[in-house]
Amino acid sequence: MTNELNHLHDKAVSIYRSGCRHPSQILPAGDLDTLAKFGISAQFLYDAVDDLARYGVPDKSVFMDLSKMRADYFQTSLQGHPPLYIVEERELPPKSAAFEGVSWLPRIIRKAQCFLEGSLCDDIMYGCAGDRSFLKKYNATLPAFLAVVRDTHGDPAQALSFLTDSIR
């Protein structure tokens, strides 16, 4: 899986650099099928490549770590089944929503859960600039935070504890 994902990321970067600006065209159809067997959407790959090209992040190692966690969750917890429901942006906690006075925390937790489940709508990215900025304040990474959400079933108190421990 690692070699395939690594190759697909490299190929998508090359296709993006050649002018592709649409998720459904970021890889040839057969490669999109390979991506889908891991439970990874073309939109997620496209968003990662687009942000890498525009902002220099997330780098390939972050993409790989997130993809491996999603693939593992997809294959084990979900037994390879796609989500029954897609969570739209309006259903996410607002950016201003807070837990224990920490704005953005409820939103990023829900986005992480939806990413793991494969239920995040195409308009929203786990790991967007807002998520990266939020986690940077705590010296935390996207993969580490995703693992905490996965392991605690999205418990906000434990997520906050992880973040406060990260800055110490």
pLDDT digits (tens, 9 = 90+) for 59-85: 999 999 999 999 999 999 999 999 999
| Residue 84 φ/ψ, nearest 5 degrees | -85, -20
Q: Give the pLDDT of residue 62.
A: 97
Burial code of 18-48, b = ≥16 C-beta within 10 A, e = fewer?
Answer: eebeebeebbeeebbebbeebbbbbbbbbbb
Yes or no: say if 75 and 108 are a contact pair by the CB < 8 Å rule: no
Helix (H, G, I), strand (E, B) or coil at 92: coil
85 in Cβ contact with 119 (< 8 Å): yes
Q: Show me where the domains of the chain are located.
A: 1-79, 83-168
For residue 127, count other CB atoms closer than 10 A to its CB. 26
96-114 mean pLDDT: 98
Mean pLDDT of the residues in the chain: 96
d(CA 121, CA 115): 9
Q: What is the pLDDT of residues 30-65, one digit of tens each?
A: 999 999 999 999 999 999 999 999 999 999 999 999
Q: Does the pLDDT of residue 167 top 90, yes or no?
A: no
Q: pLDDT band at residue 168, thresholds of 50, 70 and 90?
A: confident
Inter-CA distances, 4 with 7, 8, 13, 65, 80, Å: 5, 6, 14, 13, 18
111 close to 51: Cβ distance less than 8 angstroms: no
Tokens of 121: 């709508």
